[in-house]
Amino acid sequence: MGTRPGETPAFFLCDAFRPCRIQGDVSLPSAFAIDVPDALLRRAQRGEASAFEQLYRRFERPVFTLALRLTGQREEAQDVLQDTMLKLFDRIGEFRGESPFWGWLRQIAVNEALMRLRKRARLAEAGEADEETLEAHELLLPPAAADAALLGQALQRLPDATRSVLWLYHAEGYTHEEIAGLMGRTASFSKSQLARGTRRLRELLRIETEVHSHA
C-alpha cells in the first residue's frame, strides 16, 4: 500500500517509534531485543554484582525510554527504571529461559510503569467506548514523526492511557489483546485508543511543525 502525500512511510517511524510496527502485522524487534549470553545470566543468578552491573548497562536505556513514554515524566521514568532493576535483582532466579530474557525484563518494566499510572488514577479517565479503528494508511504519521524531539513533545500531550497504547502497540509490538490484558481493559478499548491517539498525534505533530517553522 502506498503512502499519501505528506505522510511518513511506516518504516520511517523506526527512528521515532524505535522500534516500530511496519505495514501489516510485521514488526521490527523491540529496543529491548538485546542478546544476553547465558553465562552472564548464570553469573547474575549466582548473585555476582559485576553481572548485574552489565545487565543494568545493557538495559538501562530501553527501560528508561519505555517508562518515559508511558508515564510522560522523567522523574517517574527514573523511578520505574530503579524499581525494575530492583525487581530484576530480586527475581532473576525465577527466570527459566523459556522465553527471551529481554521479553521477561520488558514485562517487568511495563508492569511497573502501568502500576504508577494506576496509582495516579489517570488510566481511568479514558472509559470504554465504541470500537473505533483506522485504515492501515491512516496509522501512518506525518514527516514530523521522524523527529524524536517533536514526537516526544506531542506524546506528552496525550492522556496517559492513549499514550501507553500507542507506545506499546507501535514501539513494542504488543497486540491489542496483550495490551488489554496489561491494562485490565478490552481489545476494543485498545483499538479505540490507538485510532483516537493516532489521529490526535497527527494533529499535534502538524501543530508542532508549524510552530517550529515560524520560530
- pLDDT at position 28: 53
Give CA–CA dist 213/117, Å, rounded: 34
- pLDDT at position 202: 85
Low-confidence ranges of the chain (pLDDT < 70): 1-29, 121-148, 207-215
**Cα separation of the two ends of the chain:** 35
- pLDDT at position 138: 45
- pLDDT at position 215: 53
- pLDDT at position 6: 38
- pLDDT at position 118: 87
CB 151 within 8 A of CB 12: no
Strand, helix or coil for residue 32: coil
Give CA–CA dist 18/167, Å, rounded: 9
Q: Give 10-213's CATH code, choosing from 1.10.10.10, 1.10.1740.10, 3.40.50.720, 3.40.50.850.
A: 1.10.1740.10
Could you tell me the pTM of the whole model? 0.74
Domain extents in the chain: 10-213
